[in-house]
Chain A
Amino acid sequence: MSAETETNDSAPLRQERIVYNDAVVRRFVAASVIFAIVAMLVGVIVALQLAWYPANAASFLSFGRLRPLHTNAAIFAFIGNMMFAGIYYSTQRLVKARLASDALSSIHFWGWQLIIVAAAVTLPLGYTQGKEYAELEWPIDIAIALVWVVFAINFFWTLAKRREKHLYVAIWFYISTIITVAVLHIVNSFAIPVFALKSYSVFGGAQDALVQWWYGHNAVAFFLTTPILGIMYYFVPKAADRPVYSYRLSIVHFWALVFLYIWAGPHHLLYTALPDWAQTLGMVFSVMLWAPSWGGMLNGLLTLRGAWDKVRTDPALKFFAAAITFYGMATFEGPLLSIKSVNSLAHYTDWIIGHVHAGALGWNGFMAAGMFYWLVPRLYGTKLHSKSLADTHFYIGTVGIILYVVSMWVSGVTQGMMWRALDDKGVLLYPTFVETLIAIRPMYWVRLAGGTMFLVGMLMMFYNLYRTARSGKAVDGEATVTVESLESQVPWKNVVFGAPVLLVTVVCVLLGALAVVGINASVGIVALTTAVAIGGTLALQLSRKDGETTWHRLLEGRALIFTAFVVIAVLIGGVAEIIPTIVTTRTDPGMAGAATYSALELEGRDVYLREGCYTCHSQMIRAMPFESARYGDISRIADSQYDHPFQWGSKRTGPDLARVGGKYPNLWHYSHMRDPRATSPGSNMPPYAFLVDAKVDFGRTQDKLQAHKTIGVPYTDTQIKNAAADARKQGGMIAKDLHDQGAEVAPDSELVALAAYLQHLGQPPTVLEPKTPAVAAAGH
């Protein structure tokens, strides 16, 4: 396949014929389209369940278990497979090399599908770590890490074999994705296994909240954004047949985005018990993110200038243009929602659900559709089966997104306003939570209609692509490339010690000095830093001669150094936020009031996690008067110190539960779980009558307490030794209390354990003497 040709120069230039590995791209495309339909079908089902509770047909199909399945399928199965298809197709062509290993490509594909199947089986069965977007249990987490490493090896090995020295901007985004997702996944998944499919996060309470949202926010950033931006930078110019609007802007876009994104996680925790300084950092960096996000959006949209006639006729470009517009909308809304005053209204409401779906359906869904409509005809050497069907998909999808997003805005603002409405005496105007839910119920039907329309569009796409593939036959792209001599590489020292690196280092050292000097000196250092930063940037610009190779251009030729700089840019934010939080929350004297769970309460908590109660109930009373008026005293950092994982939640379809302990008698919980409408008419909560007959396996309780002790919860050896007996005793007391009021339930019923847990929430420290098990909550 290779031939040598003599050129005019003395050095021979070798030419090589490459056949790209497009088979793996076809597989990832097929998997993505199929899982998109699965994810959105589950999405439609959970939307129906919220509007009409009888749709919670069985325990394993209830909202709390299906919602994690929906989010995992949409993010990791649909967009994951789409991302891999786009990365593998474009990388081979941009670096002019076939994927390094066919075997690794196959392992990557089949390994990822196996993980998806494992998720689809375990999540409905209730195996979950109880952390949003990271629910999968530890063996699957390990599998994800391994498959990701296979992906990374395959990708970087391909870069090492590249025939094109310069790395195009899309490749930078792929590098940042691979590195950052690995770091996020591994750190957030640190857990202590108890059984084959049961583990507890090593992080607890506020620490876990920060780590989880550092992960959760950056899963959005580095799984749903950066790889798709890379795909945008390749496929939009390709489809429009014109280069990206500004290469310089893409450089600024890239570095600003990867550096800033990682800091923004705490905007998910505003007004919570997280330390104020971390909240402020999260808010300010989120606002900063608006700039590079819109820089990228403008760069994408302006690439289409002069090609708008094509946008009207080409379905792929139509989807790309709309997707980039939705990206602009979502990345404007994100910083807006991160401003504390706006967040106080929007947090825990459907506004957030509308925001994420503007991104997920509009940006991710439409980028995927555009890429598939462009790619599949080329992968099968044919033309698209039906352009008009693709156009119909575009319009039905767009209307679907608008219905979805607008209904959630209306719902979110309505409910948020009702929650905070106080009369002139400071009394809640809508004290019953369920009346704020009934008010927004019509919007849930509108959302269902919008989501269904989007699903119908995806079914049209599935049919269109299937017919397209059937009308052609699989073909692999080919190219003849000239092998560049590596001798022309610039010495690494010129890159690593380039003027921009030195400038950034000096600025960082000056900023670091702020930590060790006094207030007055700080002012001087800030002024000096500002002067150095602006003056240095100007000097670099002015000293640039026309036609001279820029430092960044040199960097683009050095994949390893580029990757190292990405690692540094990404890690700074994570380290600066997470390490101080872990150190300060561990030694905070305010922790003295933290209460451990009794053995039975811990078992009840596991039921709470298994049923995904956190998908609808928060456990975090924010520092606002209307929150305290409704739910009780604001949550303290100590309240959740021993929660592995934390259960602060992110959405209130039901009320906050941080201080529900002692609020109602055991009989209320018994009736409420069996039929939520019996105690709360109008509620959309699924019934949990099956918990009455389900039994807790006390044979495992001791191991669970032991695991908690290992990760720092102060259980005594006696408590661990007597765990099962203590749990039975406390269960017996609750069962007796229920019996006295006419309800028959076994002491080892899961419902009893769950009631024990709920009665503990927000209560003063439970006395956990081994011979007198915790009963503080049992006597109501």
Chain B
Amino acid sequence: MYHEFFAKSPLLALPILALVIFVAVFALIVLRTFGKKEREAASAASLLPLEDDEHPSAAAARVSNAHSEGRHE
């Protein structure tokens, strides 16, 4: 009984509608991120991972990077 109710319910159209609205809104937002304004508004937060350790592993890693890049060339 419950299954039949749910199987025939017009409410089942709602997830489809939600899908369409969601994909449209999402696509708009993604396109917007490619815009100039967004690229300029580089949030300070996005720079957080780029702060290096001070001592001593970061220094060693920099040596490592320089070394490996030099070797490749």
Contacts and interface: CB of A to CB of B under 8 A. Distances in A.
A478 B11 contact: no
B69 A252 contact: no
A284 interface: yes
A514 B25 contact: no
A393 to B, nearest CB: 15
Contacts of A238: 49-50
Interface in A472-525: 472, 475-480, 514, 519, 522
Contacts of A186: none
B23 A248 contact: no
Contacts of B25: 533-534, 537
A381 B46 contact: no
Given A170-B49, A275-B6, A291 B22 contact: yes
Interface stretch (A323-331, A342-350, A382-390, A399-407): A382-390
A137 to B, nearest CB: 34
Contact of B42 (A243, A276, A522): A243
Interface in A16-32: 20, 22
A246 interface: yes
Contacts of A587: 2
Contact of B33 (A90, A169, A246): A246
A276 B3 contact: yes
A284 B19 contact: yes
A747 to B, nearest CB: 42
Contact of A298 (B18, B30, B42, B57): B30
A63 interface: no
A431 interface: no
Most B-side CB within 10 Å, residue of A233, A313, A590: A313
Contact of A377 (B7, B19, B60): B60
A622 to B, nearest CB: 16
Contacts of B46: 168, 237, 243-244, 247
A587 B67 CA distance: 70
B6 to A, nearest CB: 4
Contacts of A248: 29, 32-33, 38, 41, 43
B57 A381 contact: yes
A249 interface: yes
A647 B61 CA distance: 52
Contacts of B55: 478
Contacts of B16: 284
Interface string A565-605: 00000000000000000001001111000000000000000
A14 interface: no
Interface in A273-321: 275-277, 280-281, 284-285, 287-288, 291-292, 295, 298, 313-314
Q: How many B residues are at the interface, by size bracket?
A: 35 or more
Contact of A522 (B10, B50, B67): B10
A93 interface: yes
Contact of B69 (A234, A242, A313): A313
Nearest to A583: B2
B31 to A, nearest CB: 10
Contacts of A383: 60, 63-64, 67-68
Given A94-B49, A313-B68, A249 B60 contact: no
Contact of A280 (B15, B23, B60, B65): B15
From B9, B49, B50, B72, name the one whose CB has the most chain A CB atoms within 10 angstroms.
B49
Most chain A CB within a 10 A radius of its CB, from B14, B43, B64, B72? B43
A247 B14 CA distance: 31
A514 B14 contact: yes
Given A256-B26, A281-B15, A166 B45 contact: yes
A287 B19 contact: yes
Q: How large is the interface on A (under 10, 10 to 19, 20 to 34, 35 or more residues)?
A: 35 or more
Given A166-B45, A237-B49, A275-B6, A381 B18 contact: no
A716 interface: no
Contact of A477 (B3, B6, B53): B53
B64 A588 contact: no
Contact of B50 (A166, A241, A245): A241
A287 B18 CA distance: 11
Contacts of A522: 10-11
Nearest to A17: B54
A130 B53 CA distance: 47
Contacts of A553: 43, 45
B64 A377 contact: yes
A285 B26 CA distance: 14
B25 to A, nearest CB: 7
A378 interface: yes
Contacts of A2: none
A384 B68 contact: yes
Interface in A378-426: 378-379, 381-384, 387
Give the residue among A169, A249, A277, A479 with the most B Cβ atoms within 10 A. Answer: A277
A164 interface: yes
B23 A519 contact: no
B43 to A, nearest CB: 4
A277 B54 contact: no
Contacts of B32: 248
Contacts of B50: 237-238, 241-243
B16 to A, nearest CB: 6
Nearest to B7: A276
Contacts of A242: 50
A593 to B, nearest CB: 15
Contacts of B11: 277, 514, 522
Given A168-B46, A249-B33, 14 more contacts: A243-B42, A245-B33, A246-B33, A248-B29, A256-B22, A256-B26, A277-B11, A284-B19, A287-B19, A387-B72, A475-B60, A477-B54, A478-B55, A588-B1
9 contacts: A168-B46, A233-B49, A248-B29, A276-B6, A284-B15, A295-B30, A378-B61, A387-B68, A590-B3
Interface of A: 20, 22, 90, 93-94, 164, 166, 168-170, 233-235, 237-238, 241-249, 252, 256, 275-277, 280-281, 284-285, 287-288, 291-292, 295, 298, 313-314, 377-379, 381-384, 387, 472, 475-480, 514, 519, 522, 526, 530, 533-534, 537, 553, 556, 584, 587-590
Interface of B: 1-3, 6-7, 9-12, 14-19, 21-23, 25-27, 29-30, 32-33, 38-39, 41-43, 45-51, 53-58, 60-61, 63-65, 67-69, 71-72
Nearest 5 Cβ contacts at the A-B interface: A383-B64, A477-B53, A277-B6, A284-B15, A243-B46
